[in-house]
Amino acid sequence: MSKPKRKRKDRQSEDIDEIPRLAKTKPLQLRYYGDPVLRKRAEPVQEITEAEVKLADDMLMTLYDTGNGIGLAATQVGILKRFLIVDIGDTDEEKFEPLLLFNPEILSYEGESVAEEGCLSIPDVRADVKRPEKIVVKAMNLKGEEIGIETDGLIARVLQHEIDHLNGTLFIDRISGLKRQLLRNELKKIQQAEHPT
């Protein structure tokens, strides 16, 4: 997911000094709207091997390199593993550690909220999306341990957006047909664009 318009200190690729192991990584190629991989369902990860650790590092680097990303699913770099990362950055009041989650599963939902979303795979398109406000998620961390997360607000929204990606769903699937019609030309442009490789 890309950043909503709000004040946050984004982590960017220049900040990799904070995460020394990222020094060896380089950003992966993002996949864009129209790429069939974005419509595929990703497969569960059985165990954490070196390949998963490398994927995590590469995806963090890819996210920070965008400059405005706050979440990324493996599907968006063409890898059909159930893995996602979320890093909404820090505010003055709050520190936030990146979430790196394998096989995330939403156990329960509560409430409802509407907020504007964007997606790194659908550049420059933004729309209001209605989602549950609060969720409980079960997942496996980078150490292979099962963890539970209860969250609301922006983190809950980004998590739901990225879990959607793992199921081949995009945020534009969750807006009304009429609104999607209005975005038709922009979507077509992204589909036909030559993306940098």
Minimal distance in Å, beta carbon 123 to Ni ion? 10
Closer residue to Ni ion, CB minimum distance, 48 or 155: 155
Q: Nearest approach, Cβ of 182 to Ni ion (angstroms)?
A: 19
Name the phi and psi angles at 98, rounded to 5: -60, 145
Residue nearest to Ni ion (CB): 119
Cα–Cα distance list, 134 to 86, 112, 113, 176 (Å): 16, 8, 9, 22
Taking the least distance from each CB to Ni ion, the nearer of 48 and 86 is: 86
Active-site pick, 52, 146, 162, 186: 162
Nearer Cβ to Ni ion (61/170): 170
The answer to whether 75 and 42 have CB atoms below 8 angstroms apart is yes
Helix H or strand E encompassing 73: strand 71-73
- 162 as an active site residue: the answer is yes
Q: How far is the CB of 136 from Ni ion (least distance, A)?
A: 22
Q: Do the Cβ atoms of 36 and 74 come closer than 8 Å? A: no
Half-sphere exposure of 13 (CA within 13 A, CB side): 14
Q: What is the helix (H) or strand (E) element at residue 137, kind and residue range?
A: strand 134-140
Q: Which is nearer to Ni ion, 48 or 117 (CB)?
A: 117
Q: Which residues bind Ni ion (CB under 5 A)?
A: 1, 119
The least CB distance from residue 89 to Ni ion, in Å, is 17
Task: Return the number of the residue (36 or 148) whose C-beta is nearest Ni ion.
Answer: 36
Phi, psi of 143, deg, nearest 5: -90, 0
Residue 146 parent element (H or E):
strand 146-152
| Minimum CB distance to Ni ion, residue 21 (Å) | 25
Tokens representing 32? 């864009």
DSSP state of 142: T
Residues involved in catalysis = 162
